[in-house]
Structures are given as C-alpha cells and as structure tokens.
Amino acid sequence: MGPTCRYMELGLPGMRSLLLLCDSADIVPQVIEFVKGHVAFPGSASATGAWSSEDHHLAIYMDVLGPMPRALLERGARTSEFFDDQGRLLRMRGMGYTGLKDLMDGTQWPLTRPDGMNDAEMAMFVDFLQGALTLDPEHRKTAEELLQHEWLQ
C-alpha cells in the first residue's frame, strides 16, 4: 500500500500535505485502489506488439473518462505518437465508453461497489473522482477543492 493510501486509512493530516504537493490525477488512482482493492487504470502491451502499454493506458482512461479534449491534444508534446488528427488512438481502435460510474459500481468484480458503500456515498465518490480525474488539468479540481469535497468530510 502506498503512502497516500496509508494516510487515508489512518486519517493522518499528511494526506492534506500530500494532496497539495501532487496533482490529483496522480493520487486518485491510488485512492481507487485503496477503496476498491484493484488497480484502476492498468496498461499492458499487446503480446503481438500491436499496441504499447502507454496506448492501452490511454485507451482505458478514455474508456472511463471520455475522449481526450482537443485543447489537451493540441498542447501535448507526444500527441502525434498516439493520436490521429481526429483525436482517435492510432493503435487501439473501436474503444467504447464505459463511464466512471460503471467502473466504480459495476456488476462484476473488480467493478463492483465496495462493501458497505450505499448509493449516496457511491454518488459522492464518483463525483469526487470525476473532479480529480478530469482529463484536461486546466479543468481538473485543485487539491484544495478536492479536500473540501463532501466525500472526504
């Protein structure tokens, strides 16, 4: 278990400092792992070499969070390595859109809701994650905003 998760489990004030020092998109996958018990956004290369682990990682993010924002792609130094002119992944075509709620509250493990989490708490958890994982960092919630979120209160 990483230090972020340990701070959350123990309720130590260090979580506040850690969130303020790091981008929420770096920490929140660890929060998901702690709450749900599985890695949220794994990435693995194709056995045939058809795609890299980075391709797969991007595809999973887009499956859960939606298409990459055009403005983000325009700012990306490596965009042309992974995306075509339409914002589609070059090597992983045909990905659907699952959505964050389905990832957190699906019907089969590892997508099932954590034991003891009711509908209201699940809705707050998904809202917290959505704010923290917004793909474009310019639109993502800040650490200060996340620390005030009702799910953490």
Q: How far is the C-alpha of 15 from the C-alpha of 48, rounded, in Å?
A: 41
Q: Give the mean pLDDT of the chain.
A: 77
Q: Does domain 3-152 have CATH number 1.10.645.10?
A: no
Share of the chain above pLDDT 90, in %: 10
pTM of this prediction?
0.72
Q: Which of 82-91, 112-121, 144-153 has the highest mean pLDDT?
A: 82-91
Residue with tokens 């660890």: 30
Confidence of residue 25 (pLDDT cuts 50, 70, 90): low
Paired tokens of 47: 């056995």
Contact 10, 36 (CB under 8 A): no
What 77-82 contacts at long range (C-beta under 8 Å, 24+ apart), as own/partner pairs, is: 82/54, 82/55, 82/58
Our CA dihedral for 13, 104, 37, 14, rounded to 10 degrees, sits at -10
Please report, for the chain, the start and end positions of each structural domain, with discontinuous segments joined by +: 3-152
Q: How far is the C-alpha of 3 from the C-alpha of 31, rounded, in Å?
A: 11
Helix axes 14-21, 24-36, angle to 10 degrees: 140
Residue with tokens 């070059």: 90
